[in-house]
Structures are given as C-alpha cells and as structure tokens.
Amino acid sequence: MSQVTNILLCGVGGQGVLLASEVLALVAAEEKAEVKQTEVHGVAQRGGSVVSHLRFGDKVYSPTVRTGTGDILVAFERLEAVRYGHYVKPGGLMLINDVEVMPGQIGDYKPYPSGIIEFLGNKGFALQSIPATAKAKELGNPRVSSLIILGALSAHLDLSAKAWEAVIKRRIPAKLLDVNLKAFQAGVEIGKSMAQAAAAGA
C-alpha cells in the first residue's frame, strides 16, 4: 500500500489545536493527493482534552490514525502527550510544547503529574521539547504559540515552505499576519536546530 503520513495534534480546548490542524491539513491539501483530518468536537465548554487526527498520502481511506502507527504526535500541552502517546509508533516522534495546564478537577485533588518527559523517553519515543510560550512572549504575542509549534513540525514534513506560507496568508487575518509569519519562521528554526541536534546524536 502507498505511504501515508499519520499525525496527531493534541492539547487542551482553547490552545489552538483545531486551528493548527486546519492549517496543516490545508497545507497538505496543496501538495498531496489526499488528506483526511478529523477531530471530535461539539462540546461547547472550554478546557477539555482535544485531539485531531491527520493523514495524508496518495490514497487515504480512514480519517482516524490506528494506535501504534502515528509518525508524529504534536502535544500543545504536556499531559496530553501521555494521554495520546499510545497512538505513536515505536520510536516515533513527539513534539511537546513546554506548557502545563492543570486539569479542572471534580473529585479529589491531584497535583499535576511530574516525570512526563522521563516516562515517554523511557518508552523509547524520540522527544523534542518546544519552548513555544517563551518564544511567543519574545515575539510580543502569547497567542502565536500554535504557529511556532507548526513551524517546528514543518521541519519534519515534506511540505514546501511555499505551501505553508500560502495557507498562513490565506487563513490568518491581515492584521495578525506579520507576527504569525514571524512565529512560524521562529518555529522552523527551533525545529531545524533540534533535528540537527538529534542527527548529531546529542
């Protein structure tokens, strides 16, 4: 069967996971024969766990990714990387944003779990941490995190810079375009340097 790329994006409602997966799907649609993307939505309240499945290649049937077959998982929030980690193939790549969002709790209080990165590392996944929040602050707009994350992801995909730029221009309102393009570029740099570090065996 032809090669299909399987990607998952996850996070907490309100973090921009859905916008990011829409942008990614549109970029893939520019260059790939087929794209399927799906997420569960319909709950109106904020703060829930969100996961989006994205598959592209020559021929794609199911919109959902099978467990243990994801090529890349992009977690906008740390704990969510563990929640959906089983979708990733052995040794697969996880890009993890450096953000912790405390779950709203309705039972007995539990502190935010520690040791997430160690746990996932011990499972044999290739981990890359993305300091998107810090970078977004640096750029003067905390809302551009998702574009930074997408930039970092783009370093691992065979989708052209041209397609990324075209879609971002189409999808982001004009007055926010500049800072978002900058954010995306900053993400690309982060992604590249991490890929190099990984290649050098660091």
Partner 1 sequence: MTLPSPGQRILMAGNNAIAQGAYEAGVYFASGYPGTPSTEVLEIISQYSDIRAQWGANEKVAFDEAMGVAMSGKRALCSMKYVGLNVAADSFMVFPFAGTVGGFVVISADDPGMYSSQNEQDNRYFARLAQVPMIEPSDPQEAKDYLKLAFELSEQFSTPVLYRTSMRVSHSKGMVTVGERTESVSDKKFVKDVPNWVVPIFAKSLRAKLDAKIARITEFVESYPYNRIEDGSGKIGIITSGASYTYAKEIFPDAPVFKLALTYPLPKQKILDFCAQHEQVYVIEELEPFMEEQIRAWGVGNIVGKDRLPRTGEFSADVLAKAFFEEEPVTDFAGEFDIIARPPQLCPGCPHRGAYLALKKAGVLVTGDIGCYTLGALPPLGAMHTSFCMGASIGNAFGFEIGGTEKVAAVIGDSTFIHGGIPPLIDVVYNGGNTTTLILDNRTTGMTGHQEHPATGLTLKGQEAPRLDLVGLVKAIGVEHVQVADPFNQKEMYASVKEALDHNGPSVIITNRPCIFARGEKTRPKTPYVINEDKCTQCGACQRIGCPGVLPGEQPRIDEVTCTGCSLCAQACKFDAIGLKGDA
- Kindly tell me which residue out of 49, 129, 133, 141 binds partner 1, with binding defined by CB under 8 A: 49
Residue 54: both structure tokens together? 């994205």
Over the window 104 to 123, marking each residue x when it contacts partner 1 by CB under 8 A and - when it does not, the resulting string is: xxxx-xxxxx--x--x---x
Residue 98's φ and ψ, nearest 5 degrees, are -85, 55
Cα within 13 Å of Cα(64), Cβ side: 7
Q: Which amino acid is at 27?
A: V
Give yes or no for residue 57 binding partner 1 (CB under 8 A): no
Choose the contact partner of 137 out of partner 1, ligand SF4, none; CB within 5 to 8 A by kind. none
6 bridge partner residues: 55
- Kindly tell me which residue out of 2, 3, 45, 114 binds ligand SF4, with binding defined by CB under 6 A: 45
Choose the contact partner of 103 out of ligand SF4, partner 1, none; CB within 5 to 8 A by kind. partner 1
Cα–Cα distance, 24 to 28 (Å, whole number): 6
Nearer to ligand SF4, 14 or 57 (CB): 14
- Kindly tell me which residue out of 85, 92, 187, 191 binds partner 1, with binding defined by CB under 8 A: 85
Cα–Cα distance list, 100 to 11, 55, 96, 114, 153 (Å) = 10, 27, 10, 10, 20
144 secondary structure, DSSP code:
G
Cα–Cα distance list, 133 to 30, 38, 109, 150 (Å) = 29, 26, 26, 13
- Could you report how far apart the first and last alpha carbons of the chain are, in Å? 35
Give yes or no for residue 141 binding partner 1 (CB under 8 A): no
Coil, helix or strand at residue 184: helix
Give yes or no for residue 39 binding partner 1 (CB under 8 A): yes
- Kindly tell me which residue out of 9, 10, 72, 79 binds partner 1, with binding defined by CB under 8 A: 79
- Kindly tell me which residue out of 9, 16, 73, 87 binds partner 1, with binding defined by CB under 8 A: 87
- Kindly tell me which residue out of 44, 174, 199, 200 binds partner 1, with binding defined by CB under 8 A: 44
For partner 1, the binding residues (CB under 8 A) are 1, 12, 25-26, 29, 33-49, 60-64, 66-68, 79, 82-87, 102-107, 109-113, 116, 119, 123
For ligand SF4, the binding residues (CB under 6 A) are 44-45
